[in-house]
């Protein structure tokens, strides 16, 4: 199982991307958190923006396709796409995730 993190500029974009990924069966579930404040360096300036964080549940074999879909829908020039492999997952949850992605 992979937990993928992306941040987006609006709740509407978070919903759009999340629904698309679930409909395409690239994600079993996406949780949207926020708004949150992000402070970062971009093109030599310190920026402060309101963003929303999407927590995407998927499997390793779908990550490349998922990343491609995110990039095609994401409004940012350089979107945050971070993936963590989950090594200890409840068996029933893992089965649900795999079934959801078939």
pLDDT tens by residue, 18-28:
999 999 999 99
* pTM check: above 0.75: yes
Backbone angles phi, psi at 95, to 5 degrees: -60, -45
pLDDT band of residue 12 (cuts 50, 70, 90) is: very high
How many domains in the chain? 1
Domain with 35, as residue range(s), is 2-100
Q: Cis omega before residue 78 (within 30°)?
A: no
pLDDT band of residue 38 (cuts 50, 70, 90) is: very high
pLDDT at 100: 97
Q: What's the sign of the alpha-carbon dihedral 27, 81, 73, 50? A: positive
> CATH number of the domain that 12 lies in?
3.30.70.120
Half-sphere exposure of 91 (CA within 13 A, CB side): 0
Cβ-Cβ contacts under 8 Å for 101 (sequence gap 6 or more):
25, 26, 27, 28, 58, 59, 62
Question: What tens digit of pLDDT does each residue of 41-74 get?
Answer: 999 999 999 999 999 999 999 999 999 999 999 9
């Amino acid at each position: 199982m992979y937990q993928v993190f992306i941040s987006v500029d609006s709740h509407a974009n978070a919903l759009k991307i999340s629904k698309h990924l679930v409909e395409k069966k690239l994600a079993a579930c996406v949780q949207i958190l926020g708004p949150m404040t992000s402070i970062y360096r971009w093109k030599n300036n310190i920026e402060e923006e309101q963003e929303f964080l999407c927590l995407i549940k998927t499997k390793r074999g779908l990550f490349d396709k998922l990343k491609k879909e995110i990039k095609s829908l994401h409004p940012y020039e350089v979107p945050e796409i971070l993936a963590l492999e989950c090594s200890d997952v409840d068996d029933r949850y893992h089965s649900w995730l795999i079934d959801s992605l078939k």
